[in-house]
Amino acid sequence: MLRAAGVGVGDEVVVPAFGNVEVAEAVTLAGALPVFADIDPVTYCLDPDAVEAAVTARTAAVVVVHRFGRRADTGRLHALGQRHGLLVLEQGESEAPYDEIAQRRERAAYLDAKLKGVRTPDGGDGHTYQQYVVRVPGNGRPDRDAFARAVRAKGVECRVPVKTPVHRLPEFRRCVSLPQTELAADETLALPVDAALTKREMHRIVSACNALGGLLQPAF
């Protein structure tokens, strides 16, 4: 798609570093240079202000990736593209049936109300909860990885959504400041929120997490 739009050698394309290495790979295959911009800490999608700061005379396009069931601020990003004459491409997530989304939202609401000591996701702007992603801040108590191990030991499946940001990978290593991306990679954990989960399974998730005693806010 980038090549078809005329993006190629000598061009720069602004992309997120929080996951989706294939986006950066596609930019490279087109002969262009991926430039990483930071994310919004609530949506985990590209932060329009960070994108604006990354734009140079060589920038030809922006690739926007919608994340975890939350949409990026496409209004601001497309307006930015118009101001700078940039191609703005969107990478979406597969759509689920309405009934499945409604069930996910019901389970997410239960977790929002019951979980203690982790930061639950902001459900605004039509969140479809493709993943229910919490923050587990490290503060001398169990960090995210230790928390995940303890929860799995209690029979609850959970996963780290982004283990290594793209700008940390050897083939894309950049000396760039992406504080929100780095923090999200270190703190995020996806808990089960599938439509098929039973009440007993939802209770097990809450019990497993809350049994750890909860995590306080990070010490400053």
**For the chain, which residues make up each domain, given as ranges?**
12-91, 98-210
- Model pTM score: 0.90
The pLDDT of residue 7 is 87
- Residue 176: which of 5, 29, 34, 21 has the closest Cα? 34
Determine what percent of the chain is predicted with pLDDT higher than 70: 94
- The answer to whether the CB of 180 falls within 8 A of the CB of 102 is no
* Residue 151, phi then psi, degrees to nearest 5: -70, -40
* Residue 26, phi then psi, degrees to nearest 5: -65, -35
Collapsing DSSP to helix, strand or coil, 144 comes out as: helix
CA dihedral 34, 177, 45, 73 (to 10 degrees): -100
Collapsing DSSP to helix, strand or coil, 102 comes out as: helix
CA 146 to chain CA centroid, Å, is 21
Q: How confident is the model over 34-70, as pLDDT tens digits?
A: 999 999 999 999 999 999 999 999 999 999 999 999 9
Q: How confident is the model over 26-42, as pLDDT tens digits?
A: 999 999 999 999 999 99
Mean residue pLDDT across the chain: 91
Instruction: Measure the CA–CA gap between 179 and 171, rounded to whole angstroms.
Output: 20
Residue 37: beta bridge partners? 16
Position 164 pLDDT exceeds 60: yes
- The answer to whether the CB of 51 falls within 8 A of the CB of 61 is no
- What is the second-level CATH architecture of the domain 98-210? Alpha-Beta Complex (3.90)
Determine what percent of the chain is predicted with pLDDT higher than 90: 79
Position 87 pLDDT exceeds 50: yes
The band of 175, judged by pLDDT with boundaries at 50, 70 and 90, is confident
CA dihedral 184, 146, 150, 114 (to 10 degrees): -40
Position 1 pLDDT exceeds 90: no
Instruction: Measure the CA–CA gap between 130 and 33, rounded to whole angstroms.
Output: 30
Collapsing DSSP to helix, strand or coil, 151 comes out as: helix
CATH 3.90.1170.50 fits domain 12-91: no
Q: How confident is the model over 128-154, as pLDDT tens digits?
A: 999 999 999 865 555 899 999 999 999
Position 96 pLDDT exceeds 90: no
